């Protein structure tokens, strides 16, 4: 790891790292601590480091304001440590986490004794075995970014027998230059890219629908996504085009190993604005249809996704609906409500007012139409997907959305998703693992049929009322005489983004997506309640904005004072518990043996 004098962490990060067993202005390095220190026994050093003391001295504080703190317990039995760090009256920060390692005495420690360097150009090197920390600041789910770099001592590279295979020279050259690709580069039984490209099971296809894979800087995420895509049924029959935002040699070489064509897009826009993504999606949509001139449809696949084994089959089963129904404009592979509490039926697809998201298919005609109105690079107030959703461009058209997603967002950070939202929202979602799902009742999704079908479903639904003891946070309180449903509840909501509405309250109770309710049909959100047997369909009607709010003589439910705060805490606790459980199930020490599902 390389350090310069400008690499100081923020004071709160230094405080946390010091509290984990480090000394002074620690920003990296590794040191084998004795077991007592590693497990947090005894007292930590004073938490306030020299930089903090200098700041306090400048503000009129004295050294006497420095206070000792209790050490955080870090144990080897996978119990998480949890401690609030405070200096008497004011809480500095909170830490939650755990150490999962075979040797609990290995913990991060100190950089060289003469850190920080006096000369701004001076550099030091240290070796890192393990380094992890998360800092939450404030009360709005905010956190600081933590950038980690690792310097690996240069040594003689490993030469494998297959490196001399003339057929695998591109792969051998790639593996000599790049680390972290597991089965692709191991010496014993390495992955054969060309064999994998041709290995998927065949499916019935009425037409050719190419896939455009969009990527930028995350080479290993691209590899993970590519592995899941090539393992999907129908992949061997499908043209795949890789579109890179900017020059990324590692990704281009990786795609070439698998025989995939690559087109680089000259990066546009400033970092931190919406322009780079907006421009890359516009370029990719145009380029995909320009490259595959005979294709009437294209699938756009964003970065940071893992796809289901029936990802391609799902699109081919629904493709005919885009031709048959002019009121449909996109087929999505992803659902914001694909959560274990409200989704279960992988055969079900719904009409929705949703925008394109996380793996989607459109027709050539729609692309030609929408590219003329694409958000301009000079306009940084719009994201491309929300722009496509405005009434003037959507023009009353609908998306098709699966009940159970065919893609899973598994990024760590991005333009719109940070580590917090990934861990607590997207990581708690589910996606289909069955390669042979046959979608049902697709004929009902056409406009001339769906409206009548949906109305009949609402009319036969039984009304839920809080008056009769129903508690939306405990679905087992649905009265027995209303089961197996469907059931319907009328909730106050003045808009689909009203964060104080009963619609949001219900979403939090159900531990599903609650930031907005765009995934609805004419103001009705559909859930499959899985906490009771048999599963029950719940229709949540947004009043008064839904056109269906008057079909039942039912009372509208409004949030009572304090309910949102109480339910938010309940939802947060559930998500944290699942996150802890999911994290403990991961064993990175065994990861190389099962790299992305490949033995």
List, run by run, the mean pLDDT of 10-residue segments along the chain (599 residues): 32 43 34 34 30 44 35 38 37 32 31 43 40 40 52 71 93 90 89 92 96 90 92 96 93 95 88 83 92 96 91 98 96 95 96 92 94 85 80 89 93 64 81 95 95 94 85 91 90 85 92 89 94 93 89 76 89 85 48 34
Cis preceding linkage at 534, omega within 30: yes
* Residue position matching structure tokens 């518990």: 577
Q: What pLDDT was estimated at residue 152?
A: 59
Give the residue from 389, 392, 358 showing the smallest Cα distance to 513. Answer: 358
Instruction: Please check whether residue 514 is in contact with residue 568, taking contact to mean a CB–CB distance below 8 angstroms.
Output: no
Measured CA to CA in angstroms, residue 69 lies from 19, 48, 85, 570 at distances of 8, 10, 7, 30
| Whole-number Å distance between alpha carbons of 524 and 545 | 9
Assigned token pair, 264: 């680089």
Q: What pLDDT was estimated at residue 32?
A: 31
Q: What pLDDT was estimated at residue 249?
A: 93
Delineate the domains of the chain, giving CATH numbers in brackets. 2-143 (no CATH), 199-445 (3.90.550.10), 459-580 (no CATH)
Instruction: Please check whether residue 360 is in contact with residue 452, taking contact to mean a CB–CB distance below 8 angstroms.
Output: no
Assigned token pair, 50: 């020299």
**This prediction's pTM:** 0.74
| Whole-number Å distance between alpha carbons of 40 and 410 | 32
Q: What pLDDT was estimated at residue 252?
A: 95
Give the residue from 445, 526, 453 showing the smallest Cα distance to 485. Answer: 526
**E-only strand ranges, 397-535:** 398-402, 407-409, 462-463, 487-493, 524-529
DSSP 531: S
Distance from CA of residue 534 to its chain's centroid?
A: 30
* Residue position matching structure tokens 């589910």: 430
Q: Which residues of 558-567 are buried (b: 16+ CB within 10 A; e: fewer)?
A: ebeeebbeeb
Query: Pairing state of beta strands 297-301 and 360-363?
Result: antiparallel
| Whole-number Å distance between alpha carbons of 174 and 165 | 14
Total Cβ atoms within 10 A of residue 81: 17
Taken as a whole, the chain contains a residue count of 599
């Amino acid at each position: 790891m390389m350090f310069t004098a400008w690499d100081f962490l923020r004071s709160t990060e230094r405080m946390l790292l010091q509290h984990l067993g480090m000394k002074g202005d620690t920003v990296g390095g590794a040191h084998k601590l004795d077991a007592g220190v590693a497990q947090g026994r005894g007292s930590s050093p004073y938490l306030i480091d020299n930089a903090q003391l200098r700041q306090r001295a400048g503000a009129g504080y004295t050294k006497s304001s420095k206070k000792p703190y209790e050490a955080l317990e870090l144990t080897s039995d996978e119990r998480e440590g949890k401690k609030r760090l405070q200096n008497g009256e004011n809480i500095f920060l909170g830490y939650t986490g755990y150490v999962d390692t075979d040797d609990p005495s290995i913990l991060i420690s100190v950089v060289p004794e003469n850190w920080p360097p006096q000369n701004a150009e001076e550099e030091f090197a240290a070796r890192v075995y393990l380094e992890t920390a998360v800092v939450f600041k404030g009360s709005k789910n905010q956190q600081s970014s933590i950038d980690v770099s690792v310097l690996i001592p240069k040594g003689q590279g490993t030469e494998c027998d297959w490196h001399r295979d003339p057929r695998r020279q591109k792969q051998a050259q790639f593996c000599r230059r790049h680390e972290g690709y597991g089965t692709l580069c191991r010496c014993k039984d390495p992955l054969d890219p060309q064999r994998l490209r041709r290995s998927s099971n065949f499916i019935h296809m009425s037409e050719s629908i190419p896939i455009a894979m969009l990527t930028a800087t995350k080479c290993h995420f691209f590899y993970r996504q590519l592995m899941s895509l090539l393992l999907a049924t129908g992949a061997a029959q499908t043209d795949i085009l890789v579109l890179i935002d900017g020059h990324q040699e590692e990704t281009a070489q990786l795609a070439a190993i698998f025989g995939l064509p690559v087109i680089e897009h000259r990066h546009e826009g400033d970092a931190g604005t919406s322009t780079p993504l907006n421009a890359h999606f516009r370029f990719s949509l145009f380029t995909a249809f320009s490259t595959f001139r005979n294709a009437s449809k294209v699938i756009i696949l964003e970065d940071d996704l893992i796809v289901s084994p029936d990802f391609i089959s799902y699109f081919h089963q629904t493709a005919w609906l885009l031709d048959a129904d002019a009121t449909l404009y996109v087929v999505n592979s992803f659902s914001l409500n694909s959560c274990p509490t409200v989704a279960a039926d992988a055969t079900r697809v719904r009409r929705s007012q949703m925008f394109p998201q996380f793996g989607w298919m459109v027709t050539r005609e729609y692309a030609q139409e929408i590219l003329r109105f694409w958000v301009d690079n000079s306009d940084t107030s719009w994201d491309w997907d929300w722009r496509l959703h405005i009434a003037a461009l959507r023009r009353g058209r609908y998306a098709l959305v699966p009940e159970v997603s065919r893609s899973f967002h598994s990024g760590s950070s991005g333009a719109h998703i940070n580590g917090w939202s990934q861990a607590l929202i997207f990581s708690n979602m589910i996606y289909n693992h069955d390669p042979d799902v046959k979608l049902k009742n697709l004929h009902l999704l056409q406009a001339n049929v769906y409206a009548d079908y949906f109305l009949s479903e609402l009319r036969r639904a039984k009304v839920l009322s809080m008056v009769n003891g129903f508690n939306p946070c405990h679905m087992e309180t649905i009265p027995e005489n209303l089961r197996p449903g469907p059931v319907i509840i009328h909730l106050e909501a003045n808009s689909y983004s009203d964060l104080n509405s009963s619609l949001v309250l219900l979403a939090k109770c159900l531990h599903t997506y609650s930031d907005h309710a765009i995934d609805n049909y004419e103001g009705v959100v559909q859930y499959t309640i899985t906490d009771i047997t048999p599963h029950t369909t719940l229709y949540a009607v947004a009043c008064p904005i839904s056109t269906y709010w008057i079909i039942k003589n039912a009372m509208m439910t409004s949030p009572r004072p304090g309910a949102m705060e109480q339910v938010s805490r309940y939802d947060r606790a559930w998500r944290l518990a699942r996150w802890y459980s999911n994290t403990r199930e991961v064993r990175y020490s065994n990861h190389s043996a099962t790299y992305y599902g490949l033995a």
